[in-house]
Amino acid sequence: MNPLNLSDLVERYISYRQSLGERFYSNAFILRAFARSLGSQGKVGDVRAEQITAFLNGTGSLTNTWHYKYGALNGFYNFAKSRGHVTEVPLPTKRPKRLPPFVPYIYSREELRRLLDATGDYQRGESSLAPFTFRTILLLLYGTGLRDGEVVRLNQADVDLDNSLLTIRHSKFHKSRLVPFGPRVSQSLTEYAASRTAPVTKSGEDVPFFTTCKGTRVILNTLQSHFRRVRARSGVQRSDGASYQPRLHDLRHTFAVHRLTSWYQQGMDVQKLVYQLSVYLGHAHLADTQVYLSMTPDLLREANARFEFYAKTGEQP
C-alpha cells in the first residue's frame, strides 16, 4: 500500500465519519489543524510521537482542550491502523487529569438589563452588526434558550411570526424541533423584521432572518465578538475566580435556570416539567437538563423550601 499524505488521510477519515451521519465539525477542525502543523506533504506513517505530543500540548497552559485533541487523534489513528496505514497508534499512554468541569455563568436579571442597555452604544466606528439587530438576538437567546449557532442559522422561512413559532432545523444532534415563543419575543422579532436591512442572497440560497448592515447572514464569530465588547462595556464579569468570562452561550443556561426557578415559585411540578424543558431545549438526554436543578442558590432555596414543606406536612406545596 502506498503511504498517503497525512492531510489526504485526514480528509478520508472526515468523509467517513460524516457518511455515518455525524456533523463532525469540531473533530474535523482539530484534525485539519494537526495535518497543517506537520506540513501538507507529510506521510501519515512518518509522524513521530514527539510531534503528536507537541500538538496536544500546544503553546499555552494545559486545558481540557488537550483531551478534545486526544480524542480526535485517537479516532483518526485507530481508523488509520484498521486500514493498514500505520501499525500502531502513536499517542501518549499517560494522559493528564481533566481540569474541573466548566461552570456556566447564570446572569441575574439586573445583569441582563445592563447587557441590553449596553447594546445601544458599544460600537466604535463602523460595525457589521447594527445595535438593534444585536439587541433582538440577545432577547431571543434569553427568551427561548436557543443555542447561539441556532440563531444565526435561522432562515426567514423558519420564523413564523403569525403563530409565534420557530423551526430549528438539523441542530446539534441532527434533530429538528419547533420552538414556540411568548408575546415579548414576538414583539421584538416583529419590530426587527419590519426594520432590518433587506437580505442579500444569491439565487437558490436560503434567506437569512438575521442580517448584517450589508444584508448578509450574521456570522457566529462576529456575534460572539460583539457580545464580548457589550459584556465588557456593561461591566458584567465573573467574581468566582474563574479564568473565563461570561459567554453569549450562557444566556441559554440562564434561560433554563430562570424558567425552573419560576416554576418552583409558582408551585408547579418541576420534576414533570423538566421533561418538557428538555425537549424544548433540544437536549439529547434528560440528564443534560437536570443539571440545571442544582445550579444556583435561588433555585436550591426554592427546591429546599418545597421539600421542607412536604417533610412537615406530607403534602405538596
Question: Which of the residues are catalytic?
Answer: 147, 172, 249, 252, 283, 292
Q: Encode burial over 169-187: b for 16+ CB neighbours within 10 A, e otherwise.
A: eebeeeeeeebebeeebbe
Residue 178 phi/psi, 5-degree rounding, is -100, 135
Q: Is 43 helix (H, G, I), strand (E, B) or coil?
A: strand
Residue 168 phi/psi, 5-degree rounding, is -100, 115
Burial of residue 75, with CB atoms counted within 10 A of its CB: 0-12 exposed, 13-18 middle, 19 or more buried: middle
Give me 12's grid cell.
478520508
Give me 121's grid cell.
452604544
Q: At what angle do helices 131-144 and 250-265 cross, to 10 degrees?
A: 50
